[in-house]
Structure 1
Amino acid sequence: MSQREKKLKLGIPKGSLQDSTIKLFAKSGWKINLHHRNYFPEINDPDIECSLCRAQEMPVYVQDGTLDVGLTGKDWILENEAEVVTVDELVYSKMSNRPARWVLAVGGDSPYRRPEDLAGKKIATELENFTRRYFQQADIPVEVEFSWGATEAKVVSGLADAIVEVTETGTTIRAHGLRIIAELLTTSTQLIANTRAWEDPWKQDKITQMRTLLQGALRAESLVGLKMNVHQDRLDQLMQILPSLTSPTVSNLYQADWLSIEIVVQESTVRDLIPDLQSIGVEGIIEYPLYKVI
């Protein structure tokens, strides 16, 4: 097969991560267009073919070569005990840029305080295999039952004594009157590759390019660029208050005693930084978004 005929088979996670994944790829330079009731989206790269796939099944399809590369959770890799190449961790989700946690939760008024207290009890979860291994390794005999959904309600309705469920903030867990007694696993989105695809130089180069641009887009999400003008007499004062990712770029303005300054800063610092800049006479402050930081 010639280089031009090669295709990288990319799996996009269907479900809760779908929109945030497509948005991340768009920031990275790949526009993915979905079609109603079609599991094969279009992408603006002739070297890539896309498929929608549930994150829970992604490791299986990457392992068997149906897909060359895909995005899924670390939890589903462990659940399926999949033999894949973990290319990189991409910390993003549908809600926030933080890893999610699989927690063990019980009723708020239950007597259970630790995993050991659940010996002989029933636990409902979608992460069935991992949960079973967790309790086996801890030598705690429990009955693990697969949950097809609405897992938080299983304890309230008396269908289970405890649940293992994924959460980012714990809000939904608490809203159902449950109490977290243990954290079993911290997970985040992983870029994974088929082992044979990773050994192919052309595919590895393409996957590495993908990793670089996805990570660049993620880094840029919390950063902004700032441009400003300052009189050269105030430069030392300015440097004392400027937080920056790297040293600021300083250039002379044409036929003037003023300097142009350009920096990259955390977006969260800008609201407090601008008044400080104005207090020392900085003018022409411009804030602009960043799409990638490599």
Structure 2
Amino acid sequence: MRIAVPNKGRLHEPSVDLLDRAGLHVVDGADRKLYAETVDPDVTILYARAADIPEYVSDGAADVGITGLDQVREAAVDNLVDLLDLEYGACRLVLAAPEDGPVESVADLAGGTVATEFPNVTRAYFEDKGVDVDIAEVSGATELTPHVDIADAIVDITSTGTTLRMNRLGVVDDVLESSVRLFAREDALDDPKVEQVTTALRSVKTAEGKRYLMMNVPEENLQAVKDVIPGLGGPTVMDIAGDSKVAVHAVVDERQVFETINDLEREGASGILVTEIERMVE
């Protein structure tokens, strides 16, 4: 099975790191090559431009792909299934126009021109709004086009809005909320490897921000300890041979560890250990 991964840019390192944490380590270290083998002999990494990954998966060059939702929507392929939101690379596609211009709503652009690097997404957006515009496809410096009379507005990616403000552009409407996703081709969904990869990546995402607590608790204090543990469900309680104490294990949110440990000590817990969780299957 081939997994298509961004070969460079802001999505490359987080994607490779995620696969590594999921146990799919690259064994040859050659992330500049087109292909790389992993520790699983049945799984190969295919490095490609983020914008090309939807086509690679759709056409069968890869079985699953990791790329932004914006790239998938722009590719306009109809045989991909969104398996998992990987929750990084968050951004918005927005409709923006000059702050001191006449465009204050989508309707104000009727008969106008919109510049974008995302013509398919933009076309679908305006068709949904019932507004007829001309779309000017550009390959860079989209923010400049309204100031040089190429377009009345733009549809472009923004993460913080800084670039828009620098170019005196204001957001008129949100077009698309995007983040990096795991996608698969429809006819690959029955492949057990696709399910294994999805489960592995989901287990890493589930474990993020969680910690595993282990402690010893006097039996008579067990209920009090249970009451202060903000766990994902009830804690696991095990007898300790030859001891009046029990072992208590629980998963808690990392943000709650500091306060929880103080509460546990107050209720008589001892030998408290806190460990990171690499993967967790719910």
| TM-score between both structures, scaled by the size of structure 2 | 0.87
2: CA distance, partners of 1:207 / 1:127:
29
2: CA distance, partners of 1:164 / 1:272:
46
SS of the residue corresponding to residue 35 of structure 2 reads coil
Q: 1:206: how far off? A: 0.9
2: CA distance, partners of 1:248 / 1:90:
28
* Paired AA for residue 157 in structure 2: V
The answer on whether the counterparts of 1:226 and 1:288 sit within 8 Å (CA) in structure 2 is yes
1: CA distance, partners of 2:263 / 2:162:
37
Of the structure 1 ranges 70-79 and 206-215, higher mean CA displacement relative to structure 2 is found in 70-79
CA shift in 2, pair 1:170/1:89, >3 Å: farther
Aligned residues: 279
Q: What runs of 5+ residues in structure 1 fail to find an aligned partner?
A: 1-7
The answer on whether the counterparts of 2:22 and 2:200 sit within 8 Å (CA) in structure 1 is yes
1:267 corresponds to: 254
2: CA distance, partners of 1:44 / 1:152:
44
CA shift in 2, pair 1:126/1:272, >3 Å: farther
CA shift in 2, pair 1:171/1:91, >3 Å: farther
* Paired AA for residue 74 in structure 1: L
1: CA distance, partners of 2:153 / 2:166:
15
Of the three residues 150, 162, 168, the one matched with 2:153 is 162
SS of the residue corresponding to residue 41 of structure 1 reads strand
1: CA distance, partners of 2:130 / 2:142:
24
Of the three residues 196, 203, 210, the one matched with 1:216 is 203
Of the structure 1 ranges 174-183 and 257-266, higher mean CA displacement relative to structure 2 is found in 174-183
* Paired AA for residue 198 in structure 2: R
Of the three residues 113, 129, 137, the one matched with 1:122 is 113
CA shift in 2, pair 1:36/1:281, >3 Å: closer
Output aligned runs, 1:53-68, within 5 Å. Answer: 53-68=48-63
1:48 corresponds to: 43
Q: What runs of 5+ residues in structure 2 fail to find an aligned partner?
A: none
Of the three residues 118, 134, 138, the one matched with 1:143 is 134
CA shift in 2, pair 1:213/1:159, >3 Å: same
Q: Deviations over 1:88-138 (max 9, x none)?
A: 0223224xxxx5322212333434322112233332222111102211332
Of the three residues 37, 55, 74, the one matched with 1:79 is 74
The answer on whether the counterparts of 1:84 and 1:192 sit within 8 Å (CA) in structure 2 is no
